Amino acid sequence: MLFRKKRSELEIIDQMLSSATENVKKTRLMYQTNLCYTHFIGYMDFLLEKGFLASKMGNPSGKVYYTTKKGEKFLKDIKNVLCQVG
């Protein structure tokens, strides 16, 4: 049986931004990226701080997250890098 190597930071960021192209709650985003809570919060804080992700109040279910225009551009750039490396 072959085991897949661990994901790179770029692959994780790619997955988070791709998953948040539509409004998504924090818990769903964490499950979709398959990260433990502490690692997830680290990536989430980074993406929010850099302006790649943003949040807004969902109706009626509380805060949701989405990929910003800046995040969409970064996502496109990540995909280009990952295609060239892989």
- What residue spans define the domains of the chain? 9-80
The stretch 68-73 carries a mean pLDDT of 96
Segment 35-70, tens digit of pLDDT: 999 999 999 999 999 999 999 987 777 899 999 999
Segment 5-40, tens digit of pLDDT: 688 888 899 999 999 998 899 999 999 999 999 999
Q: Which CATH architecture has domain 9-80?
A: Orthogonal Bundle (1.10)
- Identify the pLDDT of residue 3: 55
| Both tokens assigned to 28 | 């769903």
What lies within 8 Å, CB to CB, of 83 at 6+ separation is: none
Contact 32, 74 (CB under 8 A): no
Question: Which pTM was predicted?
Answer: 0.84
- Identify the pLDDT of residue 2: 53
- Identify the pLDDT of residue 1: 46
